[in-house]
């Protein structure tokens, strides 16, 4: 069977991209990473892509007059690789409805919180400040609503008394690097899809929080 073609969008360090690269190279993830596109030049994620012999492309949003024209150019660039799936891996841009509609059902994002809690930025500090006992990360389908599309998989981690945002972020990131390759694998195998605003896994609609994974590892 033809492997699914995946384009990864990044803005920074690309540790989630690296997790995908590692799983592909280990033979655990049956996809072809056809391109990595960054909206910021010079970021580490682009080096990771080049090292893995993946086309590494930059489309600098600062060179565009507005969000609409950037998103249109980005769509053109993405589509030139004929992808089956778009993976947002630390892509720090708000997307236009035209963009999200174009890739509806075939674009995933990872967000470092137990959605629907803590949409937006600074999620680790906000979870600590709110006195939560647990925090985590969610992989979801992207819709027009920011951090609001149906969840595929969610990993929970405990918040410890001595945690600050940095220690908590590290614990969450270890789970990110497990659940993102898993969600991409499910998509590639045809195990998940988006139907009527819900994520369906092997024919069964998932609850709003997606498939749950809990880690008590400190």
Using the minimum distance from each CB to ligand GRF, give the nearer residue, 12 or 181: 12
Name which position in 4, 6, 14, 149 contacts ligand GRF (CB under 6 A).
Answer: 14
**Does 112 participate in binding ligand GRF (rule CB under 6 A)?**
yes
Name which position in 23, 71, 163, 176 contacts ligand GRF (CB under 6 A).
Answer: 176
Q: Which residue has the tokens 């930025």?
A: 121
Name which position in 4, 6, 7, 12 contacts ligand GRF (CB under 6 A).
Answer: 12
Does the annotation count 102 as an active-site position? no
Q: Which stretch binds ligand GRF (CB under 6 A): 14-22, 57-65, 73-81, 142-150?
A: 14-22
**Does 13 participate in binding ligand GRF (rule CB under 6 A)?**
yes
For residues 2 and 192, give the distance between their C-alpha atoms in angstroms, rounded to a whole number: 18
**Does 181 participate in binding ligand GRF (rule CB under 6 A)?**
no
Angle value at C-alpha 34, between 29 and 37, nearest 5 degrees = 115
Q: Which stretch binds ligand GRF (CB under 6 A): 6-14, 47-55, 66-74, 160-168?
A: 6-14
For residues 139 and 87, give the distance between their C-alpha atoms in angstroms, rounded to a whole number: 10
For residues 148 and 129, give the distance between their C-alpha atoms in angstroms, rounded to a whole number: 22
Using the minimum distance from each CB to ligand GRF, give the nearer residue, 45 or 149: 45
Among residues 61, 102, 111, 177, the one annotated as catalytic is 111
**Does 110 participate in binding ligand GRF (rule CB under 6 A)?**
yes
Locate 63 and state its tokens.
């060179």
Applying CB under 6 A, what is the total number of residues that bind ligand GRF? 15
Beta strand residue intervals within the chain, DSSP E: 4-10, 31-38, 55-58, 85-88, 107-111, 134-141, 151-158, 192-195, 198-201, 204-205, 211-214
Q: In what order do the strands lie in the sheet with 134-141?
A: 55-58, 31-38, 4-10, 85-88, 107-111, 134-141, 151-158, 211-214
Residue ranges in 30-69 that form contacts with ligand GRF under rule CB under 6 A: 45
Q: Which stretch binds ligand GRF (CB under 6 A): 9-17, 28-36, 125-133, 202-210?
A: 9-17
- CA dist 17 to 73, 83, 157, 159, 211, Å? 22, 16, 21, 25, 22
Provide the annotated active-site residues.
111
Q: List interacting residues with ligand GRF (CB under 6 A).
A: 10, 12-16, 45, 89-90, 110-112, 137, 173, 176
């Amino acid at each position: 069977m033809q492997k699914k073609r995946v384009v990864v969008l990044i803005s920074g360090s690309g540790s989630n991209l690296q997790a995908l690269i590692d799983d592909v190279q280990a033979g655990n993830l049956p996809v072809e990473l056809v391109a990595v596109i960054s909206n910021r030049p010079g970021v580490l994620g682009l080096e990771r892509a080049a090292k893995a012999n993946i086309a590494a492309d930059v489309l600098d949003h600062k060179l565009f007059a507005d969000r609409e024209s950037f998103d249109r150019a980005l769509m053109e660039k993405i589509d030139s690789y004929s992808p089956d799936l778009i993976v947002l891996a630390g892509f720090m841009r708000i997307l236009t409805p035209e963009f999200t509609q174009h890739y509806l059902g075939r674009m995933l994002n990872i967000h470092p919180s137990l959605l629907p809690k803590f949409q937006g930025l600074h999620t680790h500090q906000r979870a600590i400040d709110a006195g939560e006992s647990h925090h985590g990360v969610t992989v979801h389908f992207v819709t027009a609503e920011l951090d609001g599309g149906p969840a595929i998989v969610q990993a929970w981690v405990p918040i410890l008394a001595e945690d600050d945002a940095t220690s908590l972020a590290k614990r969450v990131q270890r789970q990110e690097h497990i659940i993102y390759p898993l969600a991409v694998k499910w998509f590639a195998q045809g195990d998940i899809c988006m139907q009527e605003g819900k994520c369906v896994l092997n024919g069964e609609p998932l609850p709003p929080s997606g498939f749950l994974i809990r880690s008590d590892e400190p």
